[in-house]
Amino acid sequence: MRIIHRVVAGLDVHKKTVVATRIQVNEEERLVWETKTFGTMTQDLLALLDWLAEWECTHVAMESTGDYWKPVFNVLEGTFEVYLVNAQHVKHVPGRKTDVTDSEWLAELMLHGLLRPSFIPPKPQRALRDLTRYRTKLVQERSRTVNRVQKLLEGANIKLGSVVSDVQGVSAQAMLAELCTGKMSPQEMAQLARGRLRNKIPELEKALTGVVETHHRFLLGKQLTHIDFLDEQVADLSAEIARQLEEMSAPPPMPGEGDSSHPPETTSEPDDRVAPLTWTEAVELLDTIPGVNVKTAESILAEMGLDMSRFPSADHLTAWAGLAPGNHESAGKRYSGRRRKGNRPLATTMVQAAWSAVRTKGTYLKSRYHRLAARRGKKRAIVGVARSMLVSIWHMLSYRQPYQELGDDFLDQRRKEAKLNYLTRQLEKLTGGSVQIEFQPVAA
């Protein structure tokens, strides 16, 4: 088999140990290999780096085992071409069930160029990923705490959620704060309503009358304090994410900038080069999509980045995100089209954005959802809408164009003649005769 790389290494990574095998092709065109086990502490990984550098390894391959690969990647990044490979690509090999043989097999596959690396973003983007993913976890925790508040109120016979649409609104929050103290009567708490909610004061008085015990007030106070704490944490994270985006959007320093002894060269020729797309500009572009706000745009960009050239087409991006239909065909028969696993945080974010988009009025995404839901069900339809949004994002970032709304009648106008023929046939079936359509000008 053809040899692509002459000095490579394979790593079998675990929590406490790393089994490494280095292989090189000597002058006699024979393979020479050596295997050694290292720890996973930073000093041990630096020893691994020196051990690989002794043979001047160019490429290192390792499997993506949980989060255990990250410390190894942090040390080897920048020194070697590190390939993080999918374990499914190399696990279907009989007889290789030990750590040593796993590392040898990875090195051998790397030697012949048979491994495909996973997408590992650069360090600034990885930092942005950590921030956005943690913010998502805090938002989810806040939602769980709000549900706990609702459950506690039901246990205390407080039916506030049956009257107000949001128990976290300004009026509801004021009522819950007074409910914790126990100093106001239900009639007095109902008077804290604001705006249109004041029209429901009689209902509020009934809803706020319950069997509230001491432990109910104690738990409610703790839960409301926890929600306030989570709100502060989310706000701090959002500010840090904004700062990180501004730092990543800053242009790199020009050669000689800040050094008066070497002033930059000036040319009379105009510079026709287009400035690359910045992170803040990308957030503004994605914010034009229905169902996508600034926080959602930040989470999307943190997962896939700005450079769409790493995805040859929009279909590659949707497959990488895990939103493309699966392929399972044998003997001319198509089996389950269940979508395969991909980038779960990105897929989850896109599905949440799709749920928001299908609630907007007069949009193409809403009409597409209802067409798909009628044939395939709501869950498959929302995944289809999420995939359509991700396809639009690929084109928007590739060509630096904002979202263009097609309208809710786009699909009907696209197949106008076919739609008319279909409806005409349906009328003929109902009436039992011939139907002719005459178009009349619309009166002004």
Q: How far apart are CA 14 and CA 69, in angstroms?
A: 8
- Whether residue 198 is contained in a domain is answered as yes
- Whether residue 14 is contained in a domain is answered as yes
Q: What's the number of domains the chain is made of?
A: 3
Q: Which domain holds residue 85?
A: 7-111
Tally DSSP H helices, then E strands, for the chain. 16, 7
State whether 151 and 105 are in the same domain. no
Domain boundary among 76, 111, 146: 111
State whether 79 and 161 are in the same domain. no
Domain boundary among 47, 80, 111: 111
- The CATH number of the domain holding residue 82 is 3.30.420.10
- Whether residue 151 is contained in a domain is answered as yes
Inter-residue long-range contacts of 363-371, CB under 8 Å, 24+ positions, other chains counted: 363/290, 363/405, 363/407, 363/408, 364/405, 364/406, 364/407, 364/408, 364/410, 364/411, 365/290, 365/291, 365/389, 366/408, 367/408, 367/409, 367/410, 367/411, 368/411, 371/411
Q: How far apart are CA 228 and CA 70, in angstroms?
A: 34
- Whether residue 269 is contained in a domain is answered as no
Asked if residue 399 lies in contact with residue 282, where contact means CB atoms within 8 angstroms, the answer is no
Inter-residue long-range contacts of 165-172, CB under 8 Å, 24+ positions, other chains counted: 168/227, 169/197, 170/194, 171/195, 171/197
Q: How far apart are CA 319 and CA 304, in angstroms?
A: 12
- Whether residue 118 is contained in a domain is answered as no
- Whether residue 407 is contained in a domain is answered as no
State whether 55 and 135 are in the same domain. no
Q: Is 331 helix (H, G, I), strand (E, B) or coil?
A: coil
Tens of pLDDT along the chain (444 residues) come to 788 899 999 999 999 999 999 999 988 888 898 999 999 999 999 999 999 999 999 999 998 778 899 999 999 999 999 999 887 766 655 545 566 788 888 888 888 888 888 889 999 999 999 999 999 999 999 999 999 999 999 999 999 999 998 888 999 999 999 999 988 999 999 999 999 999 999 999 999 999 999 999 999 999 999 999 999 999 999 999 999 999 998 876 655 555 555 555 555 555 556 678 899 999 999 999 999 999 999 999 999 999 999 999 999 999 999 998 877 666 677 776 677 788 999 999 999 999 999 999 999 999 999 999 999 999 999 999 999 999 999 999 999 999 999 988 888 787 888 888 888 889 888 888 888 888 777 765
- Report phi then psi at 83, rounded to 5: -105, 115
Count of CA atoms in the C-beta half-sphere (13 A) of 6 = 8
Q: How far apart are CA 27 and CA 31, in angstroms?
A: 10
pTM of the model: 0.84
N-term to C-term CA, the chain: 77
- Whether residue 64 is contained in a domain is answered as yes
Domain boundary among 378, 399, 420: 399
Token pair for 116 = 């495909």
Closest to 308 (Cα-Cα) out of 389, 400, 396, 394: 394
State whether 378 and 295 are in the same domain. yes
State whether 82 and 30 are in the same domain. yes
- Whether residue 80 is contained in a domain is answered as yes
